[in-house]
């Protein structure tokens, strides 16, 4: 009988998108179970992050993904080693933007860094949404300016 291989990963998973889905799929293919630590709102604050969705909402979204076996809250940087032991994880995996940052965990499990999905990130989505808002405001302001100019020209007649 072979041992069940458990993969553990962590993330904020805000504004869940296709990059998240593809990463979770690839992570799930590394083992039999995928356990995901979701950064709590309090931990995000420590990291200087503010999520659009609350921890509870992000956890519900990630847990609904067919590639994910279980989710749990991540409260601090130090809990990873305890979580690996608690969940009997064989593989700790993160995106390659974290490459080398968790190599010390190699003494208790295999550490794997996977490449991220090209051309998509939560940060890029947030920046694009912020730009849309500003562009829309600029368009409205420009339209209002045009209306004011038309009204002025009509009143001069």
pLDDT tens track for 25-60: 999 999 999 999 999 999 999 999 888 899 999 999
Does the annotation mark 101 as catalytic?
no
Please provide the CATH number assigned to the domain covering 6-114. Answer: 3.40.50.620
> Global pTM?
0.78
- Active-site option among 5, 25, 33, 49: 49
How would residue 142 be classed by pLDDT, with cut points 50, 70 and 90? confident
* Beta bridge partner(s), residue 72: 37
How would residue 151 be classed by pLDDT, with cut points 50, 70 and 90? low
- The residue with tokens 């990130």 is 121
How would residue 156 be classed by pLDDT, with cut points 50, 70 and 90? low
55 in Cβ contact with 40 (< 8 Å): yes
Task: Give the residue extent of every domain in the chain.
Answer: 6-114, 121-157
Whether residue 128 has pLDDT greater than 70: no
Does the annotation mark 47 as catalytic?
yes
């Amino acid at each position: 009988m072979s041992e069940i291989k458990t993969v553990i990963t962590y993330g904020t998973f805000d504004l869940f998108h296709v990059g998240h889905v593809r990463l979770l799929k690839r992570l799930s293919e590394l083992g039999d179970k995928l356990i995901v630590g979701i950064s709590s709102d309090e931990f995000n604050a420590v990291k200087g992050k503010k999520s659009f969705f609350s921890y509870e909402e992000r956890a519900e979204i990630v847990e609904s993904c067919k590639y994910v076996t279980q989710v749990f809250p991540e409260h601090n940087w130090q809990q990873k080693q305890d979580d690996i032991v608690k969940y009997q994880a064989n593989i700790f995996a993160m995106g390659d933007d974290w490459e080398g940052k968790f190599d010390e965990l190699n003494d208790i499990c295999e550490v794997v860094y996977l490449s991220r999905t090209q051309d998509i990130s939560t940060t890029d989505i947030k920046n694009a949404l912020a730009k849309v808002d500003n562009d829309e405001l600029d368009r409205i302001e420009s339209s209002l300016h045009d209306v004011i100019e038309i009204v002025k020209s009509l009143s001069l007649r």
